[in-house]
Structure 1
Amino acid sequence: MGGRRIGRSGDRPELWAARAAVAERAVCARQLRRGLLTGRLTELDVWPAGRLRRGRRSPWRATLLDCAVDAWLRAPTADRQARLTGLVRGLRVRPNRLGNAELATLTLALHRAHSRAGARGRPKLTKPALRRLRESWSDHAGGGLWSDEPAGRKDAVVNGAAALLFAQLATEGGEKADLHRARSTVDWVLHHLLADGLVVTGLTVAPDGGVGAVDRTITLPGNAYLLGACARLAVSTGERGWPTVTARLVTAVTDQLADADHVLRGSGPGPALGLLSRNLASAALALRDDPAAARAAQVVFGSAEAAWRNRAVARGGPLFGPEWTVPAISPTERPLAGDPGAPVPRAERQLSTQLAGWLALESAALLERAGFADRGSARRPRTL
């Protein structure tokens, strides 16, 4: 992305910064459209031949905002800030039409866009969203925020995202009670939704108000958001316990969710792997001198290297696959002989898959800027 740089020298970009910029250009060129009169940005849900998400129920707008903020932090330009403002202005949703999980992730991304990158054009969303999230805590099942109150569920994604949001608000203009909310929410997840060191999906509340059935499926987004919340508390509170908790989560994630080549595992479309990579980078920055920081950085770089190495070439630039250890296939290519049948549409066509790859590269670029050594494979040429 071109444009006038704001507040930084024009030094030659490092490897991961350059790769992240290439991914940024590709995703934005293929799947973002700007309204001629309004300046609002809307996204194509799939490419090619996708349909525009008019900003009303785009499930990936939060991740798109996160990517845009990371790109601005990597290289702040007027064009990137205009893109962020266009994305925020193009978001037209009502809190009462969103579930708590979607509301929490979107509010978190909006807050970050405003507080970190100065995005303009605040929609009429943030204040009622924060009020609803703050009021969603209950003592049923020992605490935690409701996910979907009529269904009586409490899950890891809404609680992890809300905890991270509250932790950020505690030092960025929120209420005095937000720090307590962040601590309490993280404590509830650690007590009720942790199995073998990893965060599981959630639980139902029993008729008597106690803990009902627990869904023990591992949730990648839930682990990502909780890891980010713990890392933020480790930095902002100065309390000794939070770095220890963060290091334990890093160890569990890197041991159980990454392969022998230090690449995060996952399948199917969605930004979950990118979110996990991004919050591993946050944990590495928070822990810094702890051995767990090196492990987190190793997985961030290894995942980014795999996503880049297995990219496909398509119009506009790289195209990422849903599984970073498997070569991506361009949607213009025919299925290979003997292929049992690809999903329709192919995961490579979906915006969420591309955002995950972009986020992985931005995470590596973030650690690169912070001075972490690149632990990508030394057996392969280090080229763009």
Structure 2
Amino acid sequence: MAAEVESAQRRAAAAQQALRVRHLRRLGGWVPGTRIGRVAWPPAGRPLSKERLTASWNYWWQAHLVDVLVDGAIHRDDARCERDATALLRGIRFRNAGRWTNSYYDDMAWLGLAIERVERHLGPGAASCRPRALRVLRDRVYDAWAPDAGGGIPWRTTDTFFNAPANGPAAVLLSRTDRIERSIAMADWMDEHLRLPSGLIADGLWCHADGTCELDDSLYTYCQGVALAAQTQTYRHTGDRARLHRIDALLTAVADRFTTDGVIHAAGGGDGGLFGGILARYLAFVATDLTDDGPESVSIRERAAWIVTASADAAWANRAEHEHLPVFGHDWRVPAVVPTAVGPAGRRHGGAVASSKTPERDMSVQIAGTILLEAAVAVTIGSPEDIVSTPG
């Protein structure tokens, strides 16, 4: 067991170092006390070129970068990860024109989750504005609840698409910030409106002014991850066995539809580069935080952990290397390639970010690989989020 722990920690530390060297920099290249994640490596254009200066920065990728830095800090007491997480939050705020919010409720939920974990795991900083930031983001997603319009909370402020990527992380955030009843309502809304006959969770529900709604039954790995997280979080508060059965059924469906030999399927680069990492994070959450020792729970924890470790082993075995640091593939089942600056870097189109010509160039893909390896550390050392004990 000691060898497994050492191996898992070593791999995750290498992944964090690769992110630090290739993607973390001072905001604007010079603002002291800040960090921001460079969204492509190699970066687009020359320093101070128009291409470099106008490159998108992708708020929600930055939120997941904060979150994975927290993983490194709590799993290995990595002081560099702790400092970078704090500096990155400063960079995000400055880059976002002094605001914590934007027009996308899923983005705000992700950043709220990252800030909550910084506060809980790393402790409040001197003169920190993070508690206020957390309240602002929590209240935004709380107030977006719109049952009369068909939701749920919407994907963004400008439409009535009520989807899993907004409601799932929002449910977890609200549970962790003392809005438990709303968190439970969100988890129940997702199960009632988005669960398909296969047991998987659909992308979302388009609702119209005439009261009709249309289901978008597209399937994405990260929708399954956030649904597992929401059900696990609310089960820990309620002890409701129906939620445990939901987790069991969804995990079975995920293993059948989204894994091969236990390895999570790819979703490309761009925004899709994060999808597998998000599923891995919340599979690890199921494995470490599903609290009770009944046979169903034990089986669920073991199956969730196995997917995480099998995926991590595959991602590591198929990594490329550049200057002795790993480069993770967008598909953990096949060998990764070292990206070059040839071709366009990922660009925003509407509400989403498209893949770079070589998906491994995208920070999203490298964050996901690091999330996966930190998730493997969590299940190997048994490191829970430890929010609340299950009643009864």
Tell me the TM-score normalized by structure 2.
0.81
- 1:69 alignment partner in structure 2: 70
Q: Secondary structure at the match of 2:203?
A: strand
- 1:365 alignment partner in structure 2: 377
1:49 to 31, 38, 43: 43
Q: How many matched pairs?
A: 346
- 2:282 alignment partner in structure 1: 279
Distance 1:96 1:370, change over 3 A: closer
Distance 1:21 1:264, change over 3 A: same
Deviation at 1:357, TM superposition (A): 0.5
Output the amino acid matched with 1:370: G
- 1:19 alignment partner in structure 2: 11
- 2:90 alignment partner in structure 1: 89
- 1:199 alignment partner in structure 2: 201
Which region of structure 1 is more displaced relative to structure 2, 103-112 or 45-54? 45-54
Asked if the contact 1:45/1:52 (under 8 Å) is kept, the reply is no
Q: Secondary structure at the match of 2:217?
A: strand
Deviation at 1:79, TM superposition (A): 2.6
1:109-130, CA deviations, whole angstroms, 9 ceiling, x for partnerless residues? 1111212222634356433322
1:208-239, CA deviations, whole angstroms, 9 ceiling, x for partnerless residues? 334x1110001222211121121122223333
2:227 paired with 1:233: no
Separation in 2, partners of 1:56, 1:309: 30
1:121-148, CA deviations, whole angstroms, 9 ceiling, x for partnerless residues? 4356433322221111112355411223
Separation in 2, partners of 1:55, 1:237: 41
Distance 1:334 1:327, change over 3 A: farther
Q: Secondary structure at the match of 2:215?
A: strand
Distance 1:305 1:119, change over 3 A: farther
Separation in 2, partners of 1:58, 1:303: 26
Output the amino acid matched with 1:101: D
Distance 1:344 1:156, change over 3 A: closer
Output the amino acid matched with 2:246: V
2:317 to 289, 309, 323: 309
2:116 paired with 1:111: yes
Separation in 2, partners of 1:334, 1:148: 33
Asked if the contact 2:103/2:158 (under 8 Å) is kept, the reply is no
2:211 paired with 1:209: yes
Separation in 2, partners of 1:362, 1:133: 27
Distance 1:274 1:57, change over 3 A: closer
Asked if the contact 1:164/1:226 (under 8 Å) is kept, the reply is no
Distance 1:67 1:217, change over 3 A: same
Output the amino acid matched with 1:71: G
What is the root-mean-square deviation of aligned Cα atoms in Å? 2.7
Q: Secondary structure at the match of 1:59?
A: helix
Distance 1:355 1:37, change over 3 A: closer
Deviation at 1:344, TM superposition (A): 4.4
2:249 paired with 1:218: no
Asked if the contact 2:39/2:58 (under 8 Å) is kept, the reply is no
Output the amino acid matched with 2:206: T
Separation in 1, partners of 2:172, 2:54: 27
Separation in 2, partners of 1:233, 1:47: 39
2:144 paired with 1:127: no
Deviation at 1:266, TM superposition (A): 1.8
1:279-306, CA deviations, whole angstroms, 9 ceiling, x for partnerless residues? 0011112336521211111110110011
Distance 1:206 1:321, change over 3 A: same
Distance 1:24 1:154, change over 3 A: same
1:331-353, CA deviations, whole angstroms, 9 ceiling, x for partnerless residues? 24999xxxxxxx74311111000
Asked if the contact 2:60/2:110 (under 8 Å) is kept, the reply is no
Output the amino acid matched with 2:308: V
Deviation at 1:161, TM superposition (A): 0.9
Separation in 2, partners of 1:237, 1:321: 39
Distance 1:142 1:219, change over 3 A: same
Q: 5+ unaligned residues in a row in structure 1: which ranges? A: 1-10, 171-177, 336-342, 373-384
Deviation at 1:324, TM superposition (A): 0.6
Structure with more of its chain in helix, by fraction:
2
Deviation at 1:186, TM superposition (A): 0.5
Asked if the contact 1:69/1:116 (under 8 Å) is kept, the reply is yes
Separation in 2, partners of 1:274, 1:58: 17
1:217-276, CA deviations, whole angstroms, 9 ceiling, x for partnerless residues? 0122221112112112222333333322222221221121111x1100023112110110
- 1:173 alignment partner in structure 2: none
1:40 to 9, 34, 37: 34
Deviation at 1:104, TM superposition (A): 1.4
1:17-72, CA deviations, whole angstroms, 9 ceiling, x for partnerless residues? 11100111111111111365521011211111344799974330111011101111
- 1:247 alignment partner in structure 2: 248
Q: Secondary structure at the match of 2:140?
A: helix
Separation in 2, partners of 1:257, 1:12: 26
Distance 1:326 1:137, change over 3 A: same
Output the amino acid matched with 1:135: D
Separation in 2, partners of 1:227, 1:264: 15
Asked if the contact 1:20/1:358 (under 8 Å) is kept, the reply is yes
Matched residues, percent identical?
Answer: 32
